[in-house]
Amino acid sequence: MMKHTDICLNLDEDSMEELEKDSCDCPTIDCGEEEDNKKENDISEDSEDSELEDSLDEAEAEERRSRYLQDMNDLEKQFVDLKEQLFKERITQIEEQLDHINNSEAQEYTGPLKQLEDEFIGRNDVAGHRKHYRTINLENKLKCELQNAEQHFQNEEQQLFDALHADLQEKLRRIEEERHNADMHSELWCDDSLRYRKRRKGLDIFIPDKRKKPVIVSGPYIIYMLKELEIMDDWAAIRKAKLELAGRSNAESMTDDPLIVARYEDGKFFYKGDWFQKGEKVLLDNSIDNPVVATITGINTVELWVSKREGVKCKLSIAQFQKGKYIMRRTVPEELT
């Protein structure tokens, strides 16, 4: 820029000098009449002088022309130099701006960058909050679904358990009824056959007479014309009905009761904290009939064999003791001994 101003000043000085020279070279014109007359008188002299002046003007014009061309060349050279210098300065300025941008120091870069960073921080915070709350929402939905599935599973499991439990209880009740009926028939058959055999052998004196004495009835009475087997069948049906009613009541009352501790171990029977072994006399009670005294004749992992006074052997399962259908005691009342 300084060189450009110097060139302009040089041009102005040259133009002023040329104007002064032009002004000096130009003849002064007098407006008076005397000069006109003098010109008219000296025409011949002027013609000679004009030829001389023309030759001088051509030389001066040629000199000016060469000087102007030189000035134009100098101006062109200065313009090229100035243009090249401006180009270099522009490149230097751009490189400095690029360095500032690379170093994150340029205001044109740091301002928008700061604005973008602020927007990024705000959007990142909003996205973080949205992610947090959406995660909480999904976790709550998952917990609800898991809880619903667990409750549904528990309900289905309880319904299935109740149905199977009721079915098994019904089957057990029927099996127990059939077993009681079978035991009752076998007991009656054993009693009859034993008495019959002992009577035939003449051992009636060792068998206690359990027959009731005939009751003397006055007034009208009914005579049943039934055979002994028919009476026994009727009595078995009555006992079966009583057992069904008792079994239902026991099943209803014992559905929620825990099992009694009763198990087989080392050839002994453990029941309610006591140990019973083979050959021991015990008192059996089934909460329906009267308690009876019996002797343990055999023990295994599933059942017990007991023998009553008349020599009748009965089979009792350990499951019946666990459910409380039979009760075993070691102490025997005196009236039953």
Where is pLDDT greater, at 89 or 323?
A: 89
Contact call for residues 100 and 109 (beta carbons, < 8 A): yes
Backbone angles phi, psi at 220, to 5 degrees: -70, 145
* pLDDT digit string, tens, across residues 252-266: 555 555 567 888 888
Assigned domain for 70 exists = no
- Asked if residue 186 belongs to a domain, the reply is no
pLDDT greater at residue 52 or residue 142: 142
Domain span at 280: 262-330
Query: Does residue 166 carry a pLDDT above 60?
Result: yes
Under the banding of pLDDT at 50, 70 and 90, the label for residue 282 is confident
Q: What is the number of domains present in the chain? A: 1
**Has residue 4 got a pLDDT over 50?**
no
Is 271 inside a domain boundary?
A: yes
Q: Is the pLDDT confidence value at 203 over 60? A: no
List Cβ neighbours of 298 (8 Å cut-off, separation of 6 or more).
278, 304, 305
Mean pLDDT of 172-176: 82
Mean pLDDT of 48-64: 74
Question: The domain spanning residue 272 has which CATH number?
Answer: 2.30.30
Confirm whether 274 is domain-assigned.
yes
Of 4-18, 33-47, 141-155, 275-289, where does the model show the most confidence? 141-155
Q: What percent of the chain has pLDDT over 70?
A: 63
Q: What is the mean pLDDT of residues 268-279?
A: 86
User: What is the mean predicted confidence (pLDDT) over 77-93?
Assistant: 92
Q: Rounded to an integer, what distance in angstroms lies between the CA atom of residue 44 and that of residue 51?
A: 11
Residue in the structure block whose two tokens are 């005196």:
334
- 188 versus 313: which is more confidently predicted? 313
Task: Say if 297 falls within a structural domain.
Answer: yes
pTM: 0.28
